[in-house]
């Protein structure tokens, strides 16, 4: 009976510690994002498309580096502005008027993606990497390239580094990993939003 009671107490203590640590990680990690989000909201950028919002579940979000996973776009529709946060080290954003957006495309493993989800240039021969996975199954990076310009302004290209292994402490993601799927979905959402804005110029 005493042994059973001891095990019960240990289980309760372990449960309390687990939930306490989970809450600590989630609140500790949320500080930077909350401050940055407040700053953007104060400027009228109330919508965003970033990987962090698409990560599979709250537990994985609590373990994520928010600075790295909140690269993407922020939108102020009343003022017709899009703000770009280019990489995980960026503390500021670049504001772009809707009417300056000329194109948007996904670049995966250094290759521009074509319509239908294909890749513009064939990847080289398959090489076996550590752990039994093939090298082409690991992502070498995923970016979104947004080009802006106008009659009286020069053409300018911006690259959103949604995933760069070098900036993730060399954390390599397999292309079927749920985290990588979230990155791909974010990239598609950003391109879709840019194309939607270009289609509806003058209607805002």
Whole-number average pLDDT of the chain: 78
* Tokens linked to 173: 């993601």
Residue 187 lies in a domain: yes
More confident site: 89 or 125: 89
What's the half-sphere exposure (Cβ side, CA atoms, 13 Å) at 44? 8
- How high is the pLDDT of residue 64? 73
The rounded radius of gyration (Å) of the Cα atoms in the chain is 21
For the stretch 121-175, pLDDT in tens is: 333 333 333 444 555 688 889 999 999 998 888 999 999 999 988 766 556 888 8
More confident site: 137 or 4: 137
- How high is the pLDDT of residue 56? 82
Residue 108 lies in a domain: yes
- Tell me the range of 2-6, 68-72, 77-81 where mean pLDDT is highest: 77-81
Sign of the dihedral through C-alpha 96, 192, 105, 170: positive
How large is the average pLDDT for residues 58-71? 78
What range defines the domain where residue 61 resides?
A: 2-199
Q: Is the pTM of this model over 0.85?
A: no
110: left (phi > 0), else alpha (psi -120 to 50), else beta? left
More confident site: 171 or 183: 183
pLDDT tier at 200, thresholds 50, 70, 90? confident
Residue 146 lies in a domain: yes
- How high is the pLDDT of residue 78? 95
Sign of the dihedral through C-alpha 156, 157, 159, 160: positive
C-alpha distances in angstroms, 20 versus 10, 14, 65?
Answer: 15, 10, 19
How large is the average pLDDT for residues 103-128? 56
How many domains would you assign to the chain? 1
How large is the average pLDDT for residues 51-74? 83
- How high is the pLDDT of residue 3? 58
- How high is the pLDDT of residue 55? 87
Residue 204 lies in a domain: no
For the stretch 8-45, pLDDT in tens is: 565 555 444 444 444 444 444 468 888 999 999 999 99
């Amino acid at each position: 009976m005493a042994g059973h009671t001891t095990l019960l107490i240990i289980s309760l203590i372990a449960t309390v510690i687990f939930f306490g640590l989970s809450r600590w990680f989630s609140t500790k990690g949320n500080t930077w994002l909350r401050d940055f989000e407040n700053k953007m909201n104060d400027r009228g950028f109330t919508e965003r498309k970033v990987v962090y919002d698409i990560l599979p579940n709250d537990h994985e979000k609590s373990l994520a580096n928010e600075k790295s996973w909140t690269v993407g776009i922020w939108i102020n529709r009343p003022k017709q502005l899009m703000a770009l946060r280019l990489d995980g080290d960026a503390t500021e954003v670049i504001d772009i008027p809707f009417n300056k957006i000329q194109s948007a495309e996904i670049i995966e493993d250094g290759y521009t993606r074509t319509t239908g989800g294909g890749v513009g240039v064939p990847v080289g021969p398959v090489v076996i990497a550590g752990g039994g996975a093939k090298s082409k199954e690991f992502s070498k990076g995923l970016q979104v390239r947004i080009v802006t310009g106008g009659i009286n302004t020069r053409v300018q290209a911006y690259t959103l580094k949604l995933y760069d292994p070098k900036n993730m402490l060399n954390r390599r993601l397999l292309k079927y990993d749920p985290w990588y799927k979230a990155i791909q979905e974010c990239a598609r959402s950003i391109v879709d939003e840019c194309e939607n804005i270009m289609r509806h110029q003058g209607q805002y």
